Amino acid sequence: MNELALLGGEKARVKAYPEWPVHDEREIEAVTRVIKSGRWGGFPYPGPETAEFVRRFCALHGAEYGVAMMNGTVTLEVALRAADIGWGDEVLVPAYTFAATASAPIAAGAIPVIVDVDPNNFCIDPQAAEAAITERTKAIIPVHLGAQMADMDAIMALAEKYHLVVIEDCAHAHGARWRGQGAGTIGDFGSFSLQSSKIMTAGEGGILLCKSQEMMYRAASIINCGRPADPEHKIYTMGANYRMGELQAALLNVAIERFPQQTTERQEMADYMDEALSEVPGVRVLRRDPRITTRAVYRYIFAVDPAQFGGATHDLICAALDAEGVDCWVGYEAMHHYSLFQPHLSKLPVPAAYPERFQFDQMRFPVAEQACEAEAVWLDESIFRSGREGVDDAVNALKKIQARFSSDPALVQSLREKLAQMH
């Protein structure tokens, strides 16, 4: 058996995985064109580059209405505010997602109600969501996580039954489709991040897809200092400046040209990864739901069984994979333990007014906690732009780690102690 790179052996992957973001002369030409035009900002808003990006992104997803914004965090807050969700209203959010999903309701004056996730896809569990609904529940934010999508059939059934606004958090789901329908177009809103690590990026940026024209007008007003966006100039809002700049939009108009080919490549390699990982002892593949007709691969998540890795949990496995040259991560913390989610530090009134919703030490979300503390391994999207060789290298590295760890639990214990000391 080859020794682990973590212990001084040779790496399973010597060649670097492809860099992100991808760029060439087209980005330079696009940005230069905007600079020379003198139209760098979007007032009147949107500017021509921004308007073109919105048109193209809506076409990609099969949406009729969209509003470009400064980032993919305010998109969630703006959606809530556009839907008139605010003080005292409850919004269901999954326990396994980035902090912004739960912070956005607070920023809008609402209460995030955390619910557990489905072990099959680590997305929000519709049954847990239904159990958490009260007379104050006004919205649900399903998050399409990794290369998976939330069960939108079940989510939309809940929304119809309880009259809920559905805001799809699609920060990981650019180009994804559910039963042929674009992510972000199934619910009332679709929120997308265009931050530097996302599979469509301008460094920062966001776009909100809207089901109705009225919601689009309201969202467009909110992000443009409250100025009316409707033709009759009647819809004023309490707004702020959340506009996207023309330089960002120019970069995105190049990125969206490359996107279909990148999506096809990532999806094919993710399907190949599904089959390859099924041969690794102690690995549980989050199988692609057949209703996901196009798969977006921002990160690829699988679960490990520590018992079959000599007691090693995902943090040690990820450290070993990193040493082997395979880019990976343990993923988010469970929301009630998330170091980035500190609502009591915000000085916003919601946590103080509804303390029972923020008693994190009394909350239990067993599926999310198991994923966050022991099971989940997130593989970087670059692996899926490296062909079969890149996927094979990642799988072989994992096989190597599993074989070594499972054969030597004492080594695992020693490494765990060293890892704990480092942190």
In this predicted structure, the answer to whether residue 208 has a pLDDT above a threshold of 90 is yes
Which pLDDT score is estimated for 279?
A: 92
Tell me what the mean pLDDT of segment 397-412 comes to. Answer: 96
pLDDT bucket at 421, cuts 50 / 70 / 90:
confident
Beta-carbon count within 10 A of 11 CB = 16
- CATH architecture, domain 25-254: 3-Layer(aba) Sandwich (3.40)
In this predicted structure, the answer to whether residue 330 has a pLDDT above a threshold of 70 is yes
Least confident piece of the model among 74-83, 149-158, 174-183, 343-352:
343-352
Tell me what the mean pLDDT of segment 34-61 comes to. Answer: 95
Which pLDDT score is estimated for 2?
A: 84
Which pLDDT score is estimated for 27?
A: 97
Percent of the chain with pLDDT over 90: 95
Domain ranges of the chain: 25-254
Which pLDDT score is estimated for 214?
A: 96
Tell me what the mean pLDDT of segment 378-387 comes to. Answer: 97
Percent of the chain with pLDDT over 70: 100
pLDDT bucket at 43, cuts 50 / 70 / 90:
confident
Across the chain, mean pLDDT equals 96
* pTM exceeds 0.95 for this model: yes
> Do 235 and 228 meet the contact criterion of CB atoms below 8 Å apart?
yes
pLDDT bucket at 358, cuts 50 / 70 / 90:
very high
In this predicted structure, the answer to whether residue 1 has a pLDDT above a threshold of 60 is no
Tell me what the mean pLDDT of segment 110-116 comes to. Answer: 98
In this predicted structure, the answer to whether residue 152 has a pLDDT above a threshold of 90 is yes
> Do 269 and 387 meet the contact criterion of CB atoms below 8 Å apart?
yes
Tens digits of residue pLDDT in 241-277: 999 999 999 999 999 999 999 999 999 999 999 999 9
